[in-house]
Amino acid sequence: MKYFWAFTALMLLLSVLADRQKTLRALEIALRRFLSILPAFLEMIVLVSVVLALVPPRLLLGLLGGEGRVLGMGIAAVVGSVTVMPGFIAFPLCGILLKRGVPYMVLSAFSTTLMMVGVLSYPVEREYFGPKVTVLRNLLAFLIALAVAVATGLAFREL
Amino acid sequence: MSRRRLALFLLYGGFLLWGFIKRFGPSVEVARNFWTFSAQMVMILPCAFVLIGLFEVWVKKEAVEKHLGRGSGPLGYLWAVLLAATTVGGIYVAFPVAHSLYRKGAKLGVIFTYVGASAICRIPMTVFEASFLGVKFTAVRFLVSLPLLVLASALLGHYLERKGYRMPG
């Protein structure tokens, strides 16, 4: 993250050196866009904070670890779609589940929907793409994630 | 701000306040989550929007149209994936970037590929995934999800362009 800030600062500096007027306009655009999307981001953070409290990692361990392969895959895909988790929590969690004997295809369904399908990011995505396209895009992403999970099951001889 | 959203925020604020007074555990948990997640966003979003602003003023429309627009062909999809692989912050940052690309003339198929790829092929995340679940797991995910993503994005893009879809804003 330090590098990201450094990179942005460097770009900004180069821009100022090249053209002050343009840089000022860039900052104006940045501020205007940021402020106009801020309420949607806040709404997303509100939703995420509630859902994460309802579905703590302990519960996830139970939800993903309990069922058989195919049902487990379905549950994992739904859970992954409606939760949000940074990778540095999700993948170690998957690592723990794997050691406990949870099939690869269940973990694949969970981690792939977690990344690709965003029910909670709907407020933000809708502002950019509109409601219909947001739903359509997430539906397609869900189907792709299921295909990945099935392929993973085949690759690890779980199906 | 819409009425619905305002009501949601007020309700949420009230719930947190009430929870603090009554020392209601779940409320405190929600507040902690809010704090953690906001902090993450504060680390990423300001830089992301500054870079978007710089992109808007410096990058010419013709350049985006040529490489990511209608005439770009398969190469446009490749650029979308590469751009996504290096996008910091994932899909939340990808949405505003995608919107910016759209205004500069990128085609919809390329844009959806970019958004999807920012979820599945960011480099640091992939390395992390492979270290916990194995290289084979990550390889399978890549080999299956990436072609399907490009295919689905292209089809969705064609379909929407035929229907005359315009992005809001």
Q: Are residues A77 and A150 in the same domain?
A: yes
Q: Are residues A73 and A3 in the same domain?
A: no
Q: What is the per-residue pLDDT across A72-84, written as a single tens digit (0 to 9) for each?
A: 999 999 999 999 8
Domains: count for chain A: 2
Rounded alpha-carbon distances, angstroms, from residue B60 to A33, B34, B64, B69, B80: 19, 38, 7, 13, 17
Band the pLDDT of A66: cuts 50, 70, 90: confident
Q: Are residues A50 and A62 in the same domain?
A: no
* DSSP symbols for A27-80: HHHHHHHHHHHHHHHHHHHHHHHHHHHHS-HHHHHHHHHSS-HHHHHHHHHHHH
Give me B126's structure tokens. 């992939």
To test the contact with chain A by mutation, choose from B10, B50, B60 the residue with the greatest count of A C-beta atoms within 10 A, namely B50
- B141 contact A CB<8A: yes
Q: What is the per-residue pLDDT across A80-107, written as a single tens digit (0 to 9) for each?
A: 999 988 888 899 999 999 998 899 999 9
Task: List alpha helices for B59-133, DSSP H.
Answer: 61-68, 74-85, 91-103, 108-120, 123-133
Average pLDDT per consecutive 10 residues, chain B (169 residues; last block may be shorter):
91 93 88 92 94 97 95 94 90 94 96 96 91 97 97 97 92
Residue numbers of the domain that contains A60: 56-159
Mean pLDDT of chain A: 93
CA pair distance A119, B107, nearest whole angstrom: 25
Its pTM stands at 0.94
The residue length of chain A stands at 159
What average pLDDT does the segment A13-23 reach? Answer: 97
pLDDT at res. A86: 80
Q: What percent of chain A has pLDDT over 90?
A: 78
Q: How far is B62 from chain A (nearest CA, A)?
A: 18
pLDDT at res. A57: 75
**Residue pair B113/B75 in contact by the 8 Å Cβ criterion:** no
Query: Which residues neighbour B24 within 8 Å (Cβ) at sequence distance 6 or greater?
Result: B18
- B157 contact A CB<8A: no
Rounded alpha-carbon distances, angstroms, from residue B98 to B68, B83, B102: 11, 11, 6
ipTM exceeding the 0.85 mark: yes
Give me A14's structure tokens. 């180069």
Q: Are residues A156 and A91 in the same domain?
A: yes
Residues of B with CB below 8 A from A52's CB? 33, 37
Band the pLDDT of A56: cuts 50, 70, 90: confident
Q: At what angle do helices A104-116 and A87-99 cross, to 10 degrees?
A: 170
Taking 80 as the threshold, does the pLDDT of residue A71 lie above it?
yes
CA pair distance B85, B68, nearest whole angstrom: 16
